[in-house]
Structure 1
């Protein structure tokens, strides 16, 4: 019985298990059969083109997908109704409801210029970004994806070379030594703004890109606003504004790791991680990177580190805070010695473009006179306050602490570098410390330094081998060479605050302040004594007998920069304080018309402190203040969904640079210094369709009342003197075209063309001062009608981007540059062998026109997709045909001109005299990167 009863129980258990299994199967089947699919297409609202890679997520779930190359998506859903969250970097997120399975049609996303990359949590109120078909300015936007794809181991500004009226070069070719021109204006007349904060040097307006080597890693995107731009800073730029937005605390958790390799031993690693925003509103991000390389140009090794930390806090919808600390510490060897074409050809070997005249061998190792080193961390605290539905306040408080400088030769040993000659003639005439290959014999330099007499004065230095640049008694040797470091450090603090008041759906008022306090430290210290036991400095006029110095400062951003140590040659401080106010009125009927009127006024105060060339009691100069300002406005009219037109106009009174207030390296205030005057007018037209998007702009900018100061030697018998040129005037006008189109599936074409006519207007009178600031002469430079040099006045590019198969893409870019003229200095020295003194004569031939050139770049990438991560591989080959070209020149020697070795046979390169001083562009280079994103 027990056996039968047990059998019965087992049978019942088996039946119950089968029943449970059947119920589970029926339940699962019900769920499966109730699932369906929703399909659709995501489109760019501005361009009318598909958005590949857009995110589509079922609201309230982790169920999501992304669009393919044609913007199409398919997502499995468990119910026939719900809401899809559709998002794409740089576009406004949308929520789309559905009530049935199947195709829900096209979903249009509109660009969100205020976020640019969709990752900035706060700080957007101080970042002035233009919106297409709304802001009446000429603008080009470059996304983070484009930056990551194209920069590689090239210079950060070079990614802009395919935008209209931009000309960026590597200049000497060291890491970070690039520069950029916009509409023919160099970068001290082009505003560079990072996260809403100005970074142009407060004294000379320059931007040193080596200080921002890490921007390609931390940038969320950037905009080039040509002309007046939309910046509300108290005084905008002349040529345009480059606005860069860096990564901030990101909304979603995730991270990445990336490694890159390239030509000439380039290697880079970057890692980053974002915590995402937690339930209490906190978020943080961190990024660390390191790069190193030998450099394309001979002896231009370098190494750098990038760091970024960001902490965000959003306690409510009304308040959001974000703190960011970032920087890029680096050192790199440079090529600073100006070389002629024949120098390159005579000493450059197989690839003459790489030749560098600043280096040689010391004790069997590479050594150079020129090394740049700098660390410029910047800390920023942003606060966005939504006071109510109509009123908001955005504030940014920042500080920057730059430390570093650059090394170079110091001494009277002119058998190292030629004087008023190129290297070819100098070596022909006999440069004792140059090898036959043009490099410097540093072992011989050290031997010469050590061959001097011993110091004869009793005391701790008796018997030491001492050298000096201005003292030769008591056994001190003045025929020496050392390596000095010229330091340009600063402390910079500022605050920007903008209030925005939306009166109604159409009218908006705004106002803000821009506060800056800058203190720049300029001095020289010893870096390498090159065999000497010490150096006698006579630069400080407050020390009558000179100062013997033995301590040296390392050329590294991570070491003491000598701010509190003994200095040589000079030591002065520049102080600039700035207060600015801006006001803005905007109109937008949300249909077809938008307009803006902006005004700004600022007060800039200057003071100079000289601890070496002024008696101690007179070290501080008087203060001088200049008031500047601007008024600008414009309107955009959308004729229909395809056509729009805009115009803008403005007038700027820009305060002079620091050296115009204190010319001639002295504390005497220039009472004749006046504001620069800029007037600008622009017309634009835009076209949008599903096939083609295009923009055409016409502009005219007049830059008047410039002040230029140049050091001179040999004029009127002066050993040292200064020529001041006042009232310099330039007129820049031109036409710009850019477009993108999709002629067939999987293919996108982007192109541009810019035609400029940039030239000087009227001749210029110079005042010549001796070393004691006495007026000794005047002279006229005949520059009326001379072409502005340093940037190609005709540029064009075309890029084809094709997706071969899903996740595999290739792109080819062609770039053309023409009407490129040599840059020139305002010179009065008739012995200037580079021939800039030709402008002392009327009817001169003007700036030398350089050969045009064409370059081709190639890119190839592939992405491996996983459930919640991907691996991305990218190969860039720049200048794939290894084209030889001159990127810039600084002389205007015409065939047949007299000059050094003028009795020698004339040689030419591509039709120009090979005595001209030039920088050649790089030949073929490459980089390969692999990134893991999760």
Structure 2
């Protein structure tokens, strides 16, 4: 009996060991229905077994159970459960597993911090679109970073003057000054005027893992100026999968970009690191807009063994310089330097040759690195603390022309060659005392105290006689100077997240920032003159200067921001921000609701080193503290697995920008200062299936007591002046649709449509200042029912992609823009019966691309990626924006004493282009561009 018992025990033990250690394998390929999904996570439910897919989308996972369920997850796609059955020591091949896209979802896989407010599909009640890293890598090419969003509803992205990084974006008719841009939860809009200069962030496309656009007030808990929407940019982290890439891209206009990156992955000791560097250069599509840019990114991370603490440090920057096209150019000027009446859309009136080399008077150069330290602390299963501390150190500015010769600036015909370039050699000759022909007359410059002296003086001295209305001097000259806009910026956001129950979550946090903007001008090039005279510093008048300073960015992110001689103005803008926020979220079954509130105090202080004597109290003001805040809430209800509806509403009391607190660049607080008020309501419907997804949104937003500053487009007579508007009211309403369809596993279609009605309401006040901040005039503007300009109020797109062979894909997209109006130009709105905003011709553009991924390596776990992009395939000529509002049936201007209308209209004089009066100052969009990229991923 004892022997029999031992045999039975041994047999049972053998069966148990055989069961526990039997090794079956599961294989398969994860795709999006068109191409493989590398890096997808595959896990056996209820076990610790897991694997990731390779570059070909394939995975192999070992299992100690014979039956079970795989849970497959990938960023931007719905999690999918797949049942499996395997025999002992056998292998089960599940074949192709197609994941369904959640186009508006970013998985918690990439969002660890509760500081980052990412909208979740069928849960967060906001209108949202998500662009994934793969799409940015593929389709951006030589386009600007915001342009990757142009096929998003209610988004209008254009290139501005066409310089590298000079693009701009509008959402629902609101400019990017009123769109919150967040990078890993850190707000990056300038703290004085909320500006975003994309040239400072040219490298973001290299390091972005995903980008989410929330239209409307959005889901951010911070009291930020997200009137039009929020752009959430999530950069790569240190603990991404081990590997790297090397790539290069080249395109039209001698575009060349090289890039390399590497990530260690998370090591056994919890440490991780990622680095990236890229270099970009080219001639620019627009003539004379050469550029050079670099981008660096460093990320270091550490996660404790118990996963309670996660630390991430990132530091990224993109030093660059780029020549610009910033002067206002009329359609007639584009035509003058074109062929057969067609405009030369590449024409740039700001550049030429100096001593045989290219020279541009207008150049932007800047280096704005940002460093952040993130700490995520999982206190327990229901509590989490997320902290981000950050700093940014901007150094650089923008160069332009200053002064003049006998009343003429450098852009005048007197200094223009036959082919439309600026004759800088002629300017240099005149500045140095040589006799040159100016408007058919020989002119020689006069010395001052034995020197040829430049200054801000244009040479025009005011009223003369009726036959010669201006008096000129022969002493002034032309220089290149820069407006420096450097800053030091430090801040932090702390968020405490508490899950009270399975259904109720509470957030509480603080947001603190301090900012010093450093503003002055310096001298870059005397262009042949001997000295520069400046009399603007009351503490040190009548200075004669000779030192000049570079128009290239400093490679040192912490360089001295105040070194060197200053001219014309020198002041600091100090802004302090203290905010607190809270949010309560309820989620149960198919219902999600939230209510959120935030309060902030902004303090504005102005320090002026030139305008006032140092003994004057106005040389350094006290802080003007202004309280603001917002409250918003929303609810989403999932009717079933396919249908959901949502609604949200909010109210903002928004502090005005710095220049509205201290108008006219003086140190006197605006006596009529009030907060701007924004109210918004929105509703939406979503549909989801394995074949088709769609979102429909409607919105209504009002904005009262708005302040606005814009540059005066008439730079010839006002030499860099500006308008300050107060009391503007606007109403923006509209509807949006966005959809994606997977017709077959290889054929995908996407589309969007948006229609807006964006108008001013009531009247507003306008004040014109010249470049010396002297008030020139005031006017009442009649803006009621005038259309809001600078963005197309109707947009649509339709795109498709098709995998013609395995890993070979063709794609194309058509983008249409209509109801595009010019920006308001004050001189056209001083009468009640004005004609409103000028409507520009509609236009549609076709973009196309070709992709091929070749798997390489012994295990075919590496890849070589080829991509060809062609933008504006049919070379469409179109007007992207206008700074003026001259109508075809407007009368031509007449001289004093002549009857109005005696010269006829622009139309009757054949002064039209495509139905638009050719005296309008416009920027054309780019014609056909292309780029080819090659990248090796390992």
Alignment TM-score, normalising by the size of structure 2: 0.86
1:659 aligned counterpart, secondary structure: helix
Match of 1:538 in 2: 535
Distance 1:850 1:456, change over 3 A: closer
**Paired residue for 1:447?**
429
| Secondary structure, aligned partner of 1:695 | strand
Match of 1:167 in 2: 156
Give the structure 1 partner of residue 597 of structure 2: 599
Aligned to 1:517: 514
Looking at structure 2, the residues matched to 443 and 719 of structure 1 have their Cα atoms a distance apart, in angstroms, of 22
In structure 2, the residue matched to 1:679 is 679
Q: CA RMSD in A?
A: 3.3
What residue is the counterpart of 2:405 in the other structure?
413
Please say if 1:927 is aligned against 2:931: yes
Q: Which residue of 2 aligns with 1:293?
A: 282
CA displacement at 1:775 relative to structure 2: 9.6
Q: In the alignment, which residue of structure 1 is the partner of 2:350? A: 358
User: How many angstroms apart in 2 are the aligned matches of 1:730 and 1:927?
Assistant: 40
User: Is 1:791 aligned with 2:779?
Assistant: no
In the alignment, structure 1 residue 907 sits paired with structure 2 residue 894: no
Deviations 1:199-238 (A, max 9, x none): 1111111100000000110111100000010011123411
Deviations 1:672-729 (A, max 9, x none): 1110000000010001112211110000000111123578899xx9999987543210
Q: Is this contact kept in 2: 1:416–1:434, CA < 8 A?
A: no
C-alpha distance after superposition, 1:108-145 (max 9, x if no partner): 979899994777485x2211100010000000000000
Alpha carbons 2:727, 2:763 under 8 Å: kept: no
Label 1:184 to 1:713 Cα distance change in 2 as closer, same or farther (>3 A): closer
Task: Give the drift of 1:850.
Answer: 0.4
Residues 1:400 and 2:400 aligned together: no
Aligned to 2:414: 432
The answer to whether the 8 Å contact 1:113/1:130 transfers is no
Partner of 2:548: 552
Instruction: After TM superposition, give the deviation of residue 469 of structure 1 in Å.
Output: 2.8
User: Contact 1:228–1:239 (CA<8 Å) still a contact in 2?
Assistant: yes
2:611 to 605, 613, 637: 613
Instruction: Give a deviation string over 1:471-523, Cα, whole Å, max 9, x none.
Output: 99xxx974200100110000000000110000011000111111010000110
Following superposition, the deviation at residue 548 of structure 1 comes to 1.2
What's the CA shift for 1:532?
1.6
User: Secondary structure in 2 aligned to 1:683?
Assistant: strand
1:880–1:924: 8 Å Cα contact kept in structure 2? yes
Please tell me whether the aligned partners of residues 103 and 129 of structure 2 are also in contact (alpha carbons under 8 angstroms): no
| Contact 1:554 1:561 survives alignment (8 Å) | no
* Shift in CA distance, 776/148, structure 1 to aligned 2, threshold 3 Å: closer
Structure 1 residues 414 and 519, CA gap change in structure 2 (3 angstroms): farther
Question: Would you say the 8 A contact 1:235–1:601 is kept in 2?
Answer: no
Distance 1:865 1:415, change over 3 A: farther
The question of whether the paired residues in 1 share the 8 Å contact of 2:122 and 2:644 is answered with yes
Distance 1:723 1:848, change over 3 A: closer
1:681-696 aligned at under 5 Å gives the runs: 681-696=681-696
Over 3 Å counting, the alpha-carbon distance change for 1:254 and 1:731 in structure 2 is same
The residue number in structure 2 matching 1:239 is 228
Contact 2:106 2:120 in 1 (8 A): no
Matched, 1:176 2:165: yes
Alpha-carbon offset, residue 433 of structure 1? 1.1
Q: Deviations over 1:388-441 (max 9, x none)?
A: 1111000000000000001000112266548xxxx8xx6xxxx32111222111
For 2:278 and 2:723, locate their aligned partners in 1 and report how far apart those are by CA, in whole Å. Answer: 45
Measured after TM superposition, the shift of residue 550 of structure 1 is 1.1
User: Alpha-carbon deviations, 1:143-189, whole Å to 9, x = none?
Assistant: 00010011111100001000000000001000000000000000001
- Report the more deviating stretch, 285-294 or 251-260: 251-260
Measured in 1, the distance between the counterparts of 2:706 and 2:759 equals 14
Query: In structure 2, what is the Cα distance between the partners aligned to 1:241 and 1:297?
Result: 30
* Conservation of the 8 A alpha-carbon contact between 2:34 and 2:747: no
In structure 2, relative to structure 1, the CA distance for the partners of 1:724 and 1:332 (3 Å cut) is closer
Give the Cα separation in 1 of the matches to 2:590 and 2:535: 69
* Contact 2:105/2:119 (<8 A) preserved: no
Aligned to 2:523: 526
* Greater Cα shift, 99-108 or 908-917: 99-108
2:922 pairs with 1:918: yes
Residue 74 of structure 2 corresponds to which residue in structure 1? 88
Is the CA contact (8 Å cut-off) linking 1:41 and 1:50 kept in structure 2? Answer: no
Match of 2:669 in 1: 669
Question: How far apart are 1:888 and its partner, in Å?
Answer: 0.7
Instruction: In structure 1, list runs of 5 or more residues that go unmatched.
Output: 1-29, 458-462, 828-836
Check the 8 A contact 1:738/1:752 in 2, yes or no: yes
CA shift for structure 1 position 539: 1.9
Tell me the number of residue pairs that the alignment of Structure 1 and Structure 2 aligns: 863
Which residue of 2 is the match for residue 487 of structure 1? 484
> Secondary structure in 2 aligned to 1:795?
strand
Cα shift at 1:542: 2.2
Q: Distance in 2 between the 1:174 and 1:229 partners?
A: 31
Q: CA deviation at 1:453?
A: 6.5
- CA offsets 1:276-305 (integer angstroms, 9 cap, x no match): 111110000100110000000001000010
Contact 1:595 1:633 in 2 (8 A): yes
SS of the residue 1:157 aligns to: helix
- Which of 114, 125, 138 is the matching residue for 1:149? 138
Say whether residues 1:199 and 2:188 are aligned partners: yes
SS across alignment from 2:325: coil
State how 1:90-169 maps to structure 2 within 5 Å.
Answer: 90=76, 98-100=84-86, 102=92, 116=106, 120=110, 122=112, 124-169=113-158
**CA 1:183–1:62 in structure 2 vs 1: closer, same or farther (change >3 Å)?**
closer
**Tell me, which stretches of 5 or more residues in structure 2 are unaligned?**
1-17, 434-443, 460-472, 895-902
- Distance across 1 between alignment mates of 2:272 and 2:258: 24
Contact 1:466 1:477 in 2 (8 A): no
Give 2:440's aligned residue.
Answer: none
Residues 1:326 and 2:316 aligned together: yes
SS at match of 2:615: helix
User: Mean alpha-carbon deviation: is it higher for 738-747 or for 110-119?
Assistant: 110-119
What SS does structure 2 have at the residue aligned with 1:764? strand
Mean Cα deviation higher: 757-766 or 857-866: 757-766
Q: 1:713 to 1:801 in 2, by over 3 A?
A: closer
Q: 1:384 aligns with which of 371, 376, 379?
A: 376
Structure 1 residue 470: Cα displacement: 4.6
Q: 1:391 and 1:799, CA in 2 relative to 1: closer, same or farther beyond 3 A?
A: same
Deviates more, 1:113-122 or 1:578-587: 113-122
Query: 1:849 maps to what in 2?
Result: 839
Between the aligned partners of 2:66 and 2:300, the Cα distance in structure 1 is 38
Closer/same/farther in 2, CA of residues 395 and 152 from structure 1, 3 Å limit:
same
Q: 1:374 aligns with which of 363, 366, 378?
A: 366
**Structure 1 residues 318 and 894, CA gap change in structure 2 (3 angstroms):** same
Q: Any residues of structure 2 matched to 1:13-28 within 5 Å, and which?
A: none
**Partners in 2 of 1:74 and 1:711 — Cα distance?**
58
Q: Is contact 1:298-1:355 (8 Å) kept? A: yes
